Amino acid sequence: MAKSLIIVESPAKAKTIAKYLGRSYQVVASVGHVKDLPKSKIGVDVNNDFEPTYVVIRGKAAVLKEIKAKAKTAEKVYLATDPDREGEAVAGHIAEELRGLKTGQVFRVLFNEITKLSIKKALESPGNIDKQKVNAQQARRVLDRVVGYHLSPLLWEKVRRGLSGGRVQSVVVRLICEREREREAFQIKEYWTIATMLKGAQEAPFFAKLHSVNGKSVEIGKPGEITTGEQAAGIVEALKTKQLVVSDIEQKERKNNPLPPFITSRLQQDASRRLRFSPKQTMMFAQQLYAGVNIGEEGPVGLITYMRTDSTRIAGEATAEVRTLISEKFGPEYVPGKAPIYKTQKAAQEAHEAIRPTSVTRTPETLKEVLSPEHYRLYELIWKRFVASQMMPARLAITCVDITAGEYLFRATGTQVIFAGHRQVYQEGKDSDPQGTIHSRTDDAAENILPALAIDDQLRVDGEGFSPKQHFTQPPPRYTEATLIRDLEDKGIGRPSTYASVVSAVQDRGYVKKEEGRLYPEEVGTIVNDQLVKFFPSVLDVAFTATMEEKLDQIEEGNCEWVETVREFYQPFAAQLEVAREKMPNVKREEVATDISCEKCGALMVIKWGRFGRFLACPSYPECKSTKEFKENASGGIAVLEKPEITTNEACEQCGSAMVVKTGRFGQFMACTAYPKCKTTKAIGIGVKCPESECGGDIVKKRSKKGGRTFYGCNRYPKCGFLSWFLPVNKPCPSCGAAFLIEKARKQVGPQVVCRDTDCGYAEPDT
């Protein structure tokens, strides 16, 4: 009997499934989509019900040829591409290619997890391709192509070559730009707090904070707020004569319920907070854990369920397994009488499950030695969240003590854990504050252990007395990747499967930059956003974009027709496009006059727009090529940024003039002082000699022409072709004697100094 053929997307998944099924099945990978809209033209007939034209993706002809050849000899063909819209589209395109070869013998199967049991169960009850799901994906693809194909050339013409616009991408940039404008418009306000450490009859001091004066709350924005240092000092002085007395004690117990198991967006957020993974990294590692990673003698094993999901549903057998583990590992008192069931988003596909381990008995500890650090840490996060989701709530005792000092009321709050419950395993990560750091917990209720107190107890100040502290209100924090994804999810923009790629794309395309974990709009991002918001208000409207996502869900559910949905979007977009082509200003050609004189010819310089943003240029170009960088203050004034020149002892190799250190767009370099007569420049060495024999050159920092990636090469190029993508460290290898070591960045521990000879293997211990 001929073998059955299973077609999946991932080569790793193919390897894992083949191990489970043995020789009676052939398993091949399509490696993602095999067909798509053409790159050279729009590929959508807007005048004929938006009929798409799909072509075989470049490089995928050989893959399709292999699939067809194996399908001819197979008894049955199972399309086991990913269980989502994109996977359904891949299955649909492959089925079209096989049409006529295997009539009636092509089936659709869904693997929510790559385990032997789930694979065999799926093969026992195969189904057909979900046309509604294919239509939903096709609608999204056509919408994105229509927007991108028309917006991108417009931006090339009006702003800068190489730019692109996208239906969801542009809305993401808008959110980041609007947050930046909120910050710029924010009015900082001063306020003060007053705190102290108090003691009663017992020796243990505790923390208390001024809560109100004459019954008016002192919180910022409240009637009794403290807005000046003088006001705070006056209160402190008055308190010195007051007796502190316990006036009220309130004690109550609070339940802290566990969080549901991960869905895609929440996994990306928590991995960003806890592991410092970008959404793109999180999805890459999760994909590998799902498809199968090698865990030693067992070979490749799928460790988690499918990682693109909106559903918090858990299979019954998984629930039973985790409840047994909790009872054995933590005790029966940690197992709820009834397994928790969590609400799922309206649009979630209930056929999917939450992200969970395929077997909870594979604890992180048992896999630590066989997984990479990245895979281990992500698996541990998923495992802990899943286990905690099925545990008892934590019980907390909260005590609130009011202390009266005349007209002043202090409040102390303390929390004690009565029963840890799910907190024994997992607590959600916290978002950082506007400066990018986690708030200090010195005055957190959870850290404030209160002694036994009674009403009318007299207290005294311990230590340094009353401490007034100045604060300033903070503007809305810039987005992190985690908080941006949370906002996209809350607003209904995009879907979990798109978050990672969109957040990555706006950075890769230069609209947004990430510094110290925060997202800032680049100047080009702000300019493009302003133009698109003005001329394409519906495309950039957050609510409209969310509505379109709902329409795509309705198409998948069979409640909406895909052609009508696309037409509803396209007609107003096409009208806005015509207006934009005529009236959108050409930023590339705009010149804004200034009162700054050109230092070379005296003409008043103008602001122009270039590849790297705005700059000052002489209007007499090309006769005068003088340019300057500038900064703009809050009131719109212009200030020239002078580039510092640092003298050196080196002479120009061409003319003998002195060389100076200048700062350019790619950092510092040496230049001849006889410029423009002599245009000699020289890269600055990093203090490491070239290792090539008889070269004697110096290693310098360089930047690749394609992609702008930093590398290190010999300053005698092209005579010497030495190149390193890693920073050389001026220290010989103590193991093999190599001329220098290199610095490699490791995701988990940061930079590590190692030998450049991989056969040597020397690595300095982490510090």
What's the alpha-carbon Rg for the chain, to the nearest Å? 32
The runs of H, that is alpha helices, within 253-292 are 264-275, 279-291
Concatenated DSSP letters of 524-567: HHHHHHHHHHHH-TTTT-HHHHHHHHHHHHHHHHTSS-HHHHHH
376 belongs to the catalytic site: no
Q: In three state form, how does the secondary structure of 557-604 look? A: HCCCCHHHHHHHHHHHHHHHHHHHHHHCCCCCCCCEEEEEECCCCCCE
Residue of 191, 306, 426, 499 marked active site: 306
Q: Is the previous residue joined to 718 through a cis bond, with omega within 30 degrees of 0?
A: yes
CA distance 524 to 159: 8
Element holding 674 (H helix, E strand): none
CA distance 196 to 353: 50
CA distance 693 to 625: 43
Concatenated DSSP letters of 619-651: TTTTT---EEEEEE-TTS-EEEEPPP-EEEEEE
CA distance 66 to 98: 12
Decide if 259 contacts 366 (C-beta within 8 A).
Answer: no
For 306, residues 6+ apart whose C-beta sits below 8 A from its C-beta are 82, 83, 84, 111, 112, 113, 290, 352, 353, 355
CA distance 316 to 575: 52
Nearest to residue 536, comparing CAs of 155, 102, 29, 99?
155
Nearest to residue 90, comparing CAs of 51, 134, 60, 156?
134
Give phi and psi for 575, each to the nearest 5.
Answer: -65, -40
Parallel, antiparallel, or unpaired: how do β-strands 613-617 and 627-632 relate? antiparallel
Q: Which residues are catalytic?
A: 306
